[in-house]
Structures are given as C-alpha cells and as structure tokens.
Amino acid sequence: LAKTTQPISMDSYEGQEVNITCSHNNIATNDYITWYQQFPSQGPRFIIQGYKTKVTNEVASLFIPADRKSSTLSLPRVSLSDTAVYYCLVGDMRYDYKLSFGAGTTVTVRA
C-alpha cells in the first residue's frame, strides 16, 4: 500500500470550503485514492474514490493531478456537522482489503 501524508489538523468556519491535500508520492499504476470520514466514537464512512482528474458526488469533490502524486479532497460550504477526522487511503482496489488508516486530518468547523 502506498504511504500517504496529510495534515494533522485543519480549522475552518461554517460556510467555507475546506481543502485537504494528501501526498502519495509512491502511488502505483493500479492504485485508487479513497477518502473516509470518521465522527467521534463512530466507524469510518466512505466519502469518495477516484483514479485521476476530478470526481464529484453529493458530499465532496476529489481532485487528482496528472502525476497522481497527490490528491485534494474538497468539502464545499462546511457546517458544524462536518467536524470529523478525514482519512486518505491509497491502494489497488483489485487486491487491497487491508485498509491502512493513518492518523488522518482532524477538521474542526467553528461557528
């Protein structure tokens, strides 16, 4: 599994856009990038997954540059309920089931 690096924490205010960048310099050709969200004392929840360029769903957008050595999770117009830990995972979705959760990024949204 490719090693990932993301900021430990980020602060934001309600209504702002939050962008979390994850570095994965040794990403392999067959690796996908997946983001999970975890609220305190709950299990992680799948947010979004992508391979290249841009992916958007009702929750977030994922931007992946051409070299795929990094990716950015974008949360539009955050609210207090978006306060959580966000994990970036990189792996070959054909074979990887050992999800490797690092420390994640703790996002705190303030009023």
The answer to whether the CB of 109 falls within 8 A of the CB of 82 is: yes
Q: Is 72 in the site for another protein (CB under 8 A)?
A: no
Q: For 82, phi and psi rounded to 5 degrees?
A: -85, 0
- Pick from 26, 28, 80, 93 the residue near another protein by CB under 8 A: 93
User: In whole angstroms, what is the distance from residue 92 CA to residue 49 CA?
Assistant: 12
Rg of the chain in Å (alpha carbons): 13
Site for another protein in 3-62 (CB under 8 A): 34, 41-46, 49
Residue 58 CB, nearest approach to another protein (Å): 16
Smaller CB distance to another protein: residue 80 or 99?
99
Smaller CB distance to another protein: residue 42 or 81?
42
Show the CA angle centred on residue 22, arms to residues 16 and 25, nearest 5°.
155
Q: Is 103 in the site for another protein (CB under 8 A)?
A: yes
Helices of type H across 4-86 = none
Residue 39 CB, nearest approach to another protein (Å): 10
Interacting residue ranges for another protein, rule: CB under 8 A: 34, 41-46, 49, 92-104
